[in-house]
Chain A
Amino acid sequence: MSTIASPAAGSEARIARRETLRQLLRSPTFLTGAAIVGFWVFCAVFGFAIAPHDPQDQSFTPLLRPGGAHLLGTDNLGRDVFSRVLVGAGDILKVAPLATLLGIAGGTVIGLVTGYFRGLVDNVISRIVDAWLALPVIVIAVTALVALGASTITLIVVIGVVFMPIVSRTVRAAVLGERQLEYVQAARLRGERAPYAMFVEILPNVMGPIIVEATVRLGYAIFTVAGLTFLGFGVQPPSPDWALQISDGYSLLNDTAHQGNYWIVLFPGMAVASLVIGVNLIADGISRALER
């Protein structure tokens, strides 16, 4: 687009972008989502400063009910649950966005290649992607993490790689719609090489679906990190990570004489849920704004 676009077309794109942004800022869905996610990002960064207690301090009486000096009670090692919930977003907010970014980058490349070339290349890669998609995400991720050993880097890489084929399907569909359009034909006639046509001509025009896909994927990435951590393959103790707190505490839930010690599991659970809902609200808002 850029090479044949007139200056007027360029400013049109800028106006369109500004309009989308204006729509977003007026969307209650987007704003609510942004407020929730913003709150957790703030807590992840400044949580240690605002938490009433050191989240790792084990010196309190274990399994205190919520109330009094400990707003959300204490866990089985005598740590303050409220302080841990406040700072518990840290690891998940590092891993999930980076994994999403990796998945989007890889998936976009695969999608562009399969969508642009069609034919044999598309057939071969797409069948591999289909086969890959048939396997449950968690199962592949657990297998890979067991083989490679759990660490933050492997977690990011594994989730990123697992997401690539899923993202590639969305991008491929968008590219298929674009490749027939005149500006792509024109670039080909000019003798531009395939990478140029893909990344410089087509990519900017499929950014909308990619951004929506990225926000949706981020929600799934948070769930995947939480799920893997719950199973013991993700974030490692003593991190106050929410899923880790749930994993540590859920075996105490059947202790009915002590109200199931529900506070160790309930509050981190609500925190994970709120973060995912926040991200999905943002995704919804962006998708609607781009549709208009």
Chain B
Amino acid sequence: MDKERRRRYEQYRASVAGPVENTLLDEFGDGELDRAEFLRRATMFGLSASVIGAALEALGHAPLAFAGTERGTAGGRLRVGCIPPPAHGLDPHTYADTGSLVTGNIAGEMLNRTTSTGTLVPELATSWKSNAAATVWTYELRKGVKFQTGQEMTADDVVATFKRLVDPNSGSQALSAYKGVLSPAGVQKVDKDTVAFHLDAPTGGFPFLTSSTTYQAIILPANYQLGTFEKTPQATGAFKLTSYTPGVGATYQPFEGWWGGKPALDGVDLKYFSDDAAVVSALLGNQIDLINEVHVATGRALFNNPNVQIFSAHGATHRLVPMLTDAPPFNDFRVRQAVALSLDRVAIRKRLFNDLADLGNDTPFAPVFPSGVKLPQRHKDIRKARQLMAAAGKSRGFSVDLTTYKAFELPLLAQIIQRSVKEIGIRMNLKILTSTAYYAGSQLGPPKGWGTTPWLNTPINITDWGGRAIPNVYLTASLKSKGVWNASHYSNKRFDSLANSYIGSVSLKDQRKFARQIELLLQHDTPAIYPYFYFQLGGGAKRVRGYHADPQGLVYLSHTSLA
């Protein structure tokens, strides 16, 4: 490292960097973080590439390498198969299902983006920075960004978009990420190119919540009219949505005014599928070039096929098996532990994912989260499980219904669980509903209870949970006493306070301290089983270039091309 760079680096630390940045740089210097974790957190806290590079060099690491995207030249239209079709309209703040988030996010962009390796890259914001307590985050917006309507993007547009996203009365699905973190009054314009977020509670990982992880956070013009997303192109992305037919498909044309230049593709044709076998056959039959999401259990034909490339993103997407902690038979933690100990997770991972998944350890801290602590892996232990059942006075077992729905590998997992708990005397009856029936009914949320919907009110069920770049939503929505998606009805004051401490921590050391306590507590209480965290997989023809699977299931095509 030359003298001049070191001088600039030290100057940055002394005058520009706040306590958040310096804590991170110290942690990296002390060896608390490895290189990948440092990069992830450095991008989260908004350190510039030059500072990150200087820090790496100062501590004897290889400099940052900027890999160019491998790019084809042919132009051409990319044909994308999307499963399943959007369930509702396309107003971005209402996205809750894969079909709509895929459709909207080909055209839309966020302030920043989470990459397939878990780092953050700038998009419509060029930098972000927090105060020492991680309660105020200030974002500098990219200059010269145009909406597809032709108008220029300013702080007013970002403020209007975020006020809608955090408004409890707007029907926003992004509240799962922002509830208790950000309120409408906290979204403030500083000047034409700067926005500040004044948070309700300290949140170290806040920049992830403005990124593609919150797939509803597409920036729209301040004068956006609800219900017009599919009618008028008005996002900022490389492609504009030019036609949309519900249940059939959508087409996109390149946006000439895109701030990123000219996309390589001549356009995108999106086609909806409702059936795994049909979309797989379409790719094998060269009717489409790319599938947004494939599964080992239902897409075996694609794996080891020489004409197909599989895109994989290590993520936190998982299946949750919550057990109702406030009613028999699962109101005794020993019974819940016994169920967890009856599962042979290694065999399940092999059978359902051909090992393309991480083992779960009954906490939401997926191995992909660096803030988690690796506790000893929970394995099948029938002897111990029987002892626990006996201690709980249930040595003769009991009958119970397990509810889930017919999609992906869920029915297969249900059958494996049913067979596994048979060994400890639990007679499990399976109720495999349609996805509509499974998510039907009211979802009032506390303090009114959890409504009537099966997925929040059945003794034991299996629910699919999307990936997130940080575990905050998993902790707040599915485990905190007042969590809106707390399907276990788990209520533990100590957990609530630990979760708050974890979310408010800025340093990795503190996060790990609280994460360890949370993990130990959750393994003891076992309000839910996390059997595995599977990799987000996509499939494509060999001629697709520059595409990466997204840990949240988005299809990002701005830098994709065809050979």
Interface residues of chain A, those whose CB is within 8 Å of chain B, are: 56, 58, 62, 76-78, 146, 149-150, 232-233, 236-238, 248, 250-258, 261
Contacts and interface: CB of A to CB of B under 8 A. Distances in A.
A252 B297 CA distance: 8
A254 B304 CA distance: 13
Contacts of A250: 277
A271 to B, nearest CB: 20
A62 B416 CA distance: 13
Contacts of A257: 301, 304-305
B138 to A, nearest CB: 49
Interface string B275-290: 1110011001000000
B432 interface: yes
Nearest to B298: A251
11 contacts: A77-B415, A77-B416, A146-B437, A150-B431, A237-B414, A238-B418, A248-B412, A251-B280, A254-B277, A256-B284, A257-B304
Interface in B292-327: 297-301, 304-305
A254 B406 contact: no
Given A238-B419, A238-B430, A258-B300, 17 more contacts: A56-B419, A58-B415, A58-B416, A76-B412, A77-B415, A77-B416, A236-B430, A237-B411, A237-B415, A250-B277, A251-B275, A251-B299, A254-B280, A254-B301, A255-B301, A256-B284, A256-B301
B406 A232 contact: yes
B434 interface: yes
Nearest to B419: A58
Nearest to A147: B437
Interface string B408-437: 000110111011000000000011111011
B524 interface: no
Among B276, B300, B416, B436: residue with most chain A CB under 10 A: B300
Interface residues of B, number: 29
Contacts of A237: 411, 414-415, 430, 432
B331 to A, nearest CB: 25
A248 B436 CA distance: 20
B409 to A, nearest CB: 9
Nearest to B405: A232
Contacts of B433: 149-150
Contacts, number: 64
Nearest to A252: B300
B405 to A, nearest CB: 9
What 7 pairs across the A-B complex have the smallest Cβ distances? A255-B301, A251-B277, A232-B406, A238-B415, A254-B301, A251-B298, A255-B300
A146 to B, nearest CB: 6
Interface of A is mostly: loop
A141 B412 CA distance: 25
B300 to A, nearest CB: 4
Interface in B430-450: 430-434, 436-437
B345 to A, nearest CB: 14
Nearest to B351: A62
Nearest to A78: B351
Nearest to A239: B430
B431 A236 contact: yes
Q: Which of A56, A76, A78, A238 has the most CB of B within 10 A?
A: A238
Nearest to B305: A257
Interface string B242-280: 000000000000000000000000000000000111001
Contacts of A256: 284, 301
Contacts of A253: 277
A254 B284 contact: yes
B519 to A, nearest CB: 30
Contacts of A232: 406, 432, 434
A149 B411 CA distance: 17
Contacts of A252: 298, 300-301
Interface in B60-110: none
Contact of B432 (A76, A236, A258): A236
B297 A76 contact: yes
B284 A77 contact: no
A15 B416 CA distance: 58
A224 B290 CA distance: 36
A150 B436 CA distance: 13
Interface string B517-532: 0000000000000000
A71 B300 CA distance: 23
Contacts of B297: 76
A254 B414 CA distance: 24
A233 B301 CA distance: 27
Contacts of A251: 275-277, 280, 298-299
Contacts of B437: 146, 149
A104 to B, nearest CB: 30
A62 B436 CA distance: 31
A144 to B, nearest CB: 13
Contacts of B414: 237-238
Contacts of A258: 300
Contacts of B276: 251
A77 B351 contact: yes
A146 B438 CA distance: 11
A232 B437 CA distance: 12
A22 to B, nearest CB: 47
B428 to A, nearest CB: 9
A137 B450 CA distance: 36
Contacts of A76: 297, 351, 412
B450 to A, nearest CB: 19
Contacts of B430: 236-238
B125 to A, nearest CB: 42
Contacts of A78: 351
Nearest to B420: A58
Contacts of A56: 419
Contacts of A255: 300-301
Contacts of B300: 252, 255, 258, 261
Contacts of B416: 58, 77
Nearest to A56: B419
Contacts of A146: 434, 436-437
Contact of A77 (B298, B301, B304, B412): B412
A258 B300 CA distance: 9
A62 B304 CA distance: 17
A197 B299 CA distance: 62
Nearest to B306: A257
B423 to A, nearest CB: 12
A244 to B, nearest CB: 9
A234 to B, nearest CB: 11
A76 B431 CA distance: 20
Contacts of A238: 414-415, 418-419, 430
A257 B301 CA distance: 7
A146 B431 CA distance: 13
B290 to A, nearest CB: 17
A185 B276 CA distance: 63
B306 to A, nearest CB: 9
Nearest to A62: B351
A211 B212 CA distance: 64
Contacts of A77: 351, 412, 415-416
A251 B419 CA distance: 23
Given A237-B430, A257-B301, A248 B411 contact: yes
Contacts of B298: 251-252
A147 to B, nearest CB: 9
A56 B430 CA distance: 14
Contacts of A261: 300
A179 B297 CA distance: 61
B133 to A, nearest CB: 51
Interface in B364-401: none
